[in-house]
Structure 1
Amino acid sequence: MADDNKKNLDHLFVLTEDNQQSNEKINRPVTTFLQDAFRSLRRNVAAMISLVVLIIIIVMAAFGGQMNEYDSTTQNLSWAKMPPKVQGLENIGWLGLDGTDSETIEASTVEAAKERGLARFKNDEEHITFDVKSEGDGTEDSAKVVATHDVYASKDMEDTYFWFGTDGLGRDLWTRTWEGTRISLFIAFLAAAIDLVIGVAYGGISGYYGGRADNVMQRIIEIITGIPNLVVLILMIIIMGSGIVSISLALAITGWTGMARIVRGEVLKLKNQEFVLASRTLGAPNGRIISRHLIPNVASLIIINTMFTIPSAIFFEAFLSFIGLGLQPPTASLGTLIDDGFKSLTTYPHMLIFPAILISVIMIAFNLLGDGLRDAFDPKMRK
């Protein structure tokens, strides 16, 4: 009976060959550290969105100023402080891109509020509309009226479009904003390049050789760090005048010390590892050990700190231009545009809104991308 049952079950099983090579074959592809890190980065939605946004901004900074017929330097006072107007969007009032200026005026009566509105927009009755929000009861500021002035119609420019409006001298803000973004990004990437070239090399040499060389090099960093950035910048302005060159030199003198200290600390931890000792035993020169073995093992920290250096440099340039120590008009940067817009914030807010939004988006995107790179390169933070 048992033999019969065995025969009935034999067709359910298939003998396989005992192949040692196929048993030990690794089906999953081997990935390097960088491949694994970038795979982890792709899973970070915020970091990838930030990367796409930054690519778009960089492309627009390069080519955005050429998308219309205006340049950034031509002045026309008859076009001064015109509000933004965009084709196809001028009929969507809540966007504020319809080429009109609006202001809520409060007075004791509706008539008094309308009189103030007419005075505010130079008594251009033909192109001003009033929207009464509150009739008022005769008390002070109880009546509210929204006065809307069609600026383009008043100047017989219905077929003209300034996408970001114009500044106080009639220059197109769309062109100036993207040219200013280009200059701000140039200064930021220059600061990152200085960190990579000077900071990484200085920190690597200091940490690897150690001893007296390390002591001397670290005292130099302490002296440079003890001098405030503004003092160095003012000195450069006195010598060379305000501009991109003076800001770049100030960053070149003081901006690399943080990166150098980080690289030095990591190299001090790695230089006594077995792979470094093996390279020394095989006769590898010191320069090769630093460039081929130590620096690649610190690459994750270098990339992360570089990503955080860029928004700091953008803010530094914007701050200097805002207080009058950075770039000077007519040169456009995000800092100079924000400074110009701040002076007319209450009456012409469009002059400040667009540069402020752009610099905020750039800084948030770089910080989110930096956080994503930190999570991707740090094994302790991987899931």
Structure 2
Amino acid sequence: MSKENLDKDLFKLAKKDEDASEKIARPSLTYWQDAWIRLRKNKGAIFGIVVLAIIMLMSIIGPYFNEDGINDQELGLSKLPPRVQGLEDIRWLGLDGTKSDSYEGDSVEAVKERLRARFRVQDDEFMTYKVKSEGDGSPDSAEVKGYYHIYEAKDLNEEYFWFGTDALGRDLFTRTWYGTRISLYIAFLAALIDLVVGVAYGGISAYYGGRVDNVMQRIIEILVGIPNLVVVILMIMILEPGIISITIALTLTGWTGMARMVRGQVLKLKNQEFVLASRTLGAPDKRILTRHLIPNTLAIIIVNTMFTIPAAIFFEAFLSFIGLGLQSPDASLGTLINDGFDSMMINPYMMIFPAIVISLVMIGFNILADGLRDALDPKMRE
């Protein structure tokens, strides 16, 4: 049908509405409101927030589930496997409170004898067996898996240790969350010091420029040239191993990265019109830095801080793992992994649970930092 044959009654003249023409279709949003909306759309960042919130909550309340399990030793409870209420019958989860192993031998009875020797059990009162196969098919060969019910053997039917116990009989569930609290405390403290020192140093260096900038940047280059491990060893030689020495070692050179990033941002901003206007109106240098330049670099500061926290946690865990961090009986994720590493082949759960927690912390902070980087960058707006 051609347009000449269309019925004119099908169309209606649109009325002019002066008020509607001035209406803004999209709501007016501040920078932070827009960033939050974009962050909520990032499923990875939301997952990181949820994981970190749960871990931080457990690091606060977890140690109070069994306060005696932090440092109190009871050798009669040494190296108990994990046991969780309601999961005793689901053996493949490994949370049924049994120790298991399998052997191949000339006969079922010979393999059973090896299993009894492995678990130091004289009879089968607390043992169950499962013949997995008949070995190579000959009548005098077999592969048997044995389960040792250590909780029943120790008359601990009413006891439950969700993460098991360590070599000294301490509750690993309590110590894992206590160690998480210590690791997070060290990381947040180091990140806070890096934030304060790095932002102030980088802002001053870039704003004044010239000779001041040259001298301050040469100092940073000297500090960056010193390996962190050397600084840590020097701190431990001067101070006793502990939270203070680790924090000093982390922050002595850790702020240099923040200072360089802030310096680069301030160099781009300091000659823009709003800074020149403030200077023309007589604003002092301190006000220009704190009210105009630093607030305009908050996005990069927040993102860099979020990356600094997991790096500090990993570095603290590394120091504790090699014996330069916290000392017994204090616990951190690094010391717990180090203790579990010594018996990884026999009691792997002692290392698995702290390793899972530190992995979740690292993943959570990193994907949250990636999400914040995208949300706070106006160029990433759809």
Distance 1:122 1:212, change over 3 A: same
After TM superposition, the structure 1 = structure 2 runs for residues 38-57 of structure 1, keeping only pairs within 5 Å, are 38-57=36-55
**1:75 matched to 2:73:** yes
**Equivalent position amino acid for 2:341 in 1:** F
Structure 1 CA distance, aligned partners of 2:253 and 2:303? 19
After TM superposition, the structure 1 = structure 2 runs for residues 6-21 of structure 1, keeping only pairs within 5 Å, are 16=15, 20-21=18-19
2:114 is matched with 116
The alpha carbon displacement at 1:109 in A equals 3.3
The alpha carbon displacement at 1:133 in A equals 1.0
Residue aligned with 1:126, SS: coil
**Equivalent position amino acid for 2:175 in 1:** R
1:262 is matched with 261
Give yes or no for contact 1:110–1:136 (8 Å, CA) kept in 2.
no
* Structure 1 portions without partners, runs of 5+: 1-7
2:95 is matched with 97
Structure 2 CA distance, aligned partners of 1:260 and 1:15? 60
Map Cα deviations across residues 233-257 of structure 1 (whole Å, 9 max, x no partner).
Answer: 1111111110000001112211100
Give yes or no for contact 1:321–1:339 (8 Å, CA) kept in 2.
yes
2:214 is matched with 215
The alpha carbon displacement at 1:143 in A equals 3.4
The alpha carbon displacement at 1:221 in A equals 0.6
Give yes or no for contact 1:50–1:365 (8 Å, CA) kept in 2.
yes
After TM superposition, the structure 1 = structure 2 runs for residues 109-258 of structure 1, keeping only pairs within 5 Å, are 109-124=107-122, 125-137=124-136, 143-258=142-257
Distance 1:142 1:36, change over 3 A: farther
Residue aligned with 1:284, SS: coil
After TM superposition, the structure 1 = structure 2 runs for residues 354-369 of structure 1, keeping only pairs within 5 Å, are 354-369=353-368
Residue aligned with 1:366, SS: helix
TM-score, normalisation: structure 2 = 0.93
Structure 2 CA distance, aligned partners of 1:200 and 1:69? 40
Give yes or no for contact 1:108–1:137 (8 Å, CA) kept in 2.
no
Give yes or no for contact 2:98–2:148 (8 Å, CA) kept in 1.
yes
Give yes or no for contact 1:40–1:376 (8 Å, CA) kept in 2.
yes
Structure 2 CA distance, aligned partners of 1:283 and 1:69? 59
**Equivalent position amino acid for 1:340 in 2:** D
2:314 is matched with 315
Residue aligned with 1:98, SS: coil
Map Cα deviations across residues 308-327 of structure 1 (whole Å, 9 max, x no partner).
Answer: 11111110001000000011
1:374 is matched with 373
The alpha carbon displacement at 1:22 in A equals 4.4
Distance 1:94 1:278, change over 3 A: same
Map Cα deviations across residues 51-95 of structure 1 (whole Å, 9 max, x no partner).
Answer: 011011001001111124643011000100001111122222222
Map Cα deviations across residues 359-381 of structure 1 (whole Å, 9 max, x no partner).
Answer: 00110111110111111112333
The alpha carbon displacement at 1:182 in A equals 0.1
Structure 1 CA distance, aligned partners of 2:264 and 2:155? 66
Structure 1 CA distance, aligned partners of 2:228 and 2:111? 50
The alpha carbon displacement at 1:287 in A equals 0.9
Residue aligned with 2:194, SS: helix
Give yes or no for contact 1:108–1:138 (8 Å, CA) kept in 2.
no
Structure 1 CA distance, aligned partners of 2:267 and 2:185? 33
TM-score, normalisation: structure 1 = 0.93
Structure 1 CA distance, aligned partners of 2:278 and 2:322? 52
Give me the identity figure in percent.
64
1:3 is matched with none
Residue aligned with 1:145, SS: strand
* Structure 2 portions without partners, runs of 5+: 1-7
Give yes or no for contact 1:109–1:136 (8 Å, CA) kept in 2.
no
Which has the larger displacement, 99-108 or 46-55?
99-108
**Equivalent position amino acid for 1:266 in 2:** Q
2:291 is matched with 292
Number of positions where the alignment pairs a residue of Structure 1 with one of Structure 2: 373
**Equivalent position amino acid for 2:47 in 1:** I
Give yes or no for contact 1:80–1:169 (8 Å, CA) kept in 2.
yes
Give yes or no for contact 1:134–1:144 (8 Å, CA) kept in 2.
yes
RMSD, matched Cα = 2.0
Structure 2 CA distance, aligned partners of 1:142 and 1:238? 59
2:341 is matched with 342
Map Cα deviations across residues 325-360 of structure 1 (whole Å, 9 max, x no partner).
Answer: 011111010000000001011111110110000000
**Equivalent position amino acid for 1:315 in 2:** F
Distance 1:267 1:9, change over 3 A: same
**Equivalent position amino acid for 1:76 in 2:** E
Map Cα deviations across residues 196-232 of structure 1 (whole Å, 9 max, x no partner).
Answer: 1000111011111101110111111111111111111
**1:37 matched to 2:35:** yes
**Equivalent position amino acid for 1:120 in 2:** R
Give yes or no for contact 2:235–2:248 (8 Å, CA) kept in 1.
yes
